[in-house]
Structure 1
């Protein structure tokens, strides 16, 4: 078995070189999706909704077990102690696990709503920063393709979530809990989540009935407006779990989001409009020009705006579809709609 742990700078250079070779040897799929290998067993494993365990070893220090991820089987610690969960830190926090690093990108920032006191890992930079934290398990989501998976796997055992779970935060939570070796904790967290969602859904339905809701994002850099559809991984939960009624345009969308002109906004037929910026805070200086859109005559004449039914939300948790973020969105909605 490969010995994982801290490596020297020379090893980092070797890793980068090996990663480049691995990347060249892999076919690329359209839209950045990971390519399945020709191994039939790996393809079968990738279709499962949660990691499949095989040949578990006794639970003791240094013991490992085998689970199946998107790119095949991987041997992971039975009791991982130093976990890096790339863009999945929300699920670790929900499960009471503190990651060794937090995902970060210079252009997009990080998930500030988690309030994690851990070092940032710049995913656009060198892998040396992650190597230095000596993780004993890496968990990754759909943003990691086959080439990147090979690179992470040189640092520590890496479990890439199966594609089959990525559209459902509940399935992701179960898969992450299983990979961490704490499936019962996952079931408890999920039961609590489901109860809060059920209670919130009942309160929202009583308050709103069939009134139609639109979710809008202000894209600050190019000063455009995006309508989020019912299949959006960030806000689709409002409709498929919280029971809100989407505006017709959002209900008919097959894509995650659609850029719409200001002239189209009155056609949304929205009784309520939820809006947030794509980056920064509402009072960030760079956002002020984009925010002026909301002061234009088309917006001011909307029935939703005239009735005071436009709600400015904070972008951090509204641009995550994970468990903690979803409950924070539910709290926002209850405060806005349930009097």
Structure 2
């Protein structure tokens, strides 16, 4: 009996040891569900989509989720407000965004619009205003995804809504919200200063003298967005009825200018093609001199290139100019 016990013990130990080794080597893998629920940072990045669908005025376009090389025919103030510098821009916007000269250094001028220059820049996204001819948009689409967006400066729309749309397009929604909050805060501070010069019952108007035109602007053009929307100033009655309420600019004659004259008049002069000379002639004539705002020195001349673009960063910089121009800086 003792001999049987002595022989069996080593065999039993060997069996137990073998079973333990097998158990260790065949330990079950971590459930796939648990791993999927807790992906590693590198795997998270890999799973993020590289493109998305965006609905522009030219239809639903597949665009980069995070574009790196943008050519923008306009909307430069919006892009800069979002912290994005385009690689190329249209000549009209680039040459008339003088307030953004420092921020736009190095941006290539693609003219109006040179397909060759755009192609050389190898963009991954092209942003165009909806007024660009359809043929141009189609040709640009052969170079890179091209999205058409309504320009508030030409449509009379809200430039802050335009900014939000650009932010949504390029994945900068948070930056758009942050800029708008900053801009509105600065506008509120400017409004307090402006109120020292322009009373709540006094009216304002925004006008532009060209060689053959006298334009009266709606809310989205020149100084009017800041004057009417941000400062809450009162538009002159006829301007409100004929222009602000319709959202359409109006070209008026010199003879009817007194009917549209506000208590405080903000004037730009479009100097090319004889505009400068026309303004000088007009301001030396009897019709102009008999306008009450002229006699009270409530006419404020603004640089047309500083107020041509009314998008994003341009709007913010124009606040300081308006405060200084009306003498409300202190």
TM bracket (short chain):
0.7 to 0.9
Matched, 1:77 2:69: no
Partner residue of 2:51 out of 55, 64, 74: 64
Give matches, 1:285-324, under 5 Å.
287-324=276-313
Count of equivalent residues: 275
- Give SS of 2:126's match: strand
- Give SS of 1:144's match: coil
Number of the residue aligned with 1:95: 82
Which has more radius of gyration? 2
Deviations 1:118-161 (A, max 9, x none): 2211115x311111111111122222354333222111112222
Number of the residue aligned with 1:271: 263
Shift of 1:289: 4.3
Number of the residue aligned with 1:217: 208
- Give SS of 2:209's match: strand
- Give SS of 2:110's match: strand
- Give SS of 2:231's match: coil
Deviations 1:198-237 (A, max 9, x none): 22233323531221112110113x2x322223x4444441
Output the CA distance in 2 between the equivalents of 1:135 and 1:59.
23
Number of the residue aligned with 1:18: none
Give matches, 1:16-27, under 5 Å.
none
- Give SS of 1:308's match: coil
Give the TM-score of the pair, scaled to structure 2.
0.74
Output the CA distance in 2 between the equivalents of 1:266 and 1:64.
55
Output the CA distance in 1 between the equivalents of 2:95 and 2:247.
24
**1:104–1:279 Cα change, 3 Å:** farther
Number of the residue aligned with 1:186: 176
Output the CA distance in 2 between the equivalents of 1:332 and 1:164.
21
- Give SS of 1:207's match: coil
- Give SS of 1:208's match: coil
Output the CA distance in 1 between the equivalents of 2:46 and 2:148.
23
Output the CA distance in 2 between the equivalents of 1:192 and 1:122.
32
Output the CA distance in 2 between the equivalents of 1:98 and 1:113.
15
**1:71–1:309 Cα change, 3 Å:** same
Gaps of 5+ in 1: 1-56
Shift of 1:62: 9.1
Output the CA distance in 2 between the equivalents of 1:159 and 1:151.
12
**1:233–1:273 Cα change, 3 Å:** closer
Shift of 1:180: 1.5
Gaps of 5+ in 2: 1-43
Number of the residue aligned with 2:230: 241
- Give SS of 2:90's match: strand
Output the CA distance in 2 between the equivalents of 1:75 and 1:279.
41
Number of the residue aligned with 1:113: 99
Q: CA RMSD in A?
A: 2.9
Output the CA distance in 2 between the equivalents of 1:215 and 1:164.
16
- Give SS of 2:195's match: helix
Number of the residue aligned with 2:190: 200
Number of the residue aligned with 1:3: none
- Give SS of 2:214's match: strand
8 Å Cα contact 1:59-1:79 kept in structure 2: no
- Give SS of 1:276's match: strand
Matched, 1:135 2:123: yes
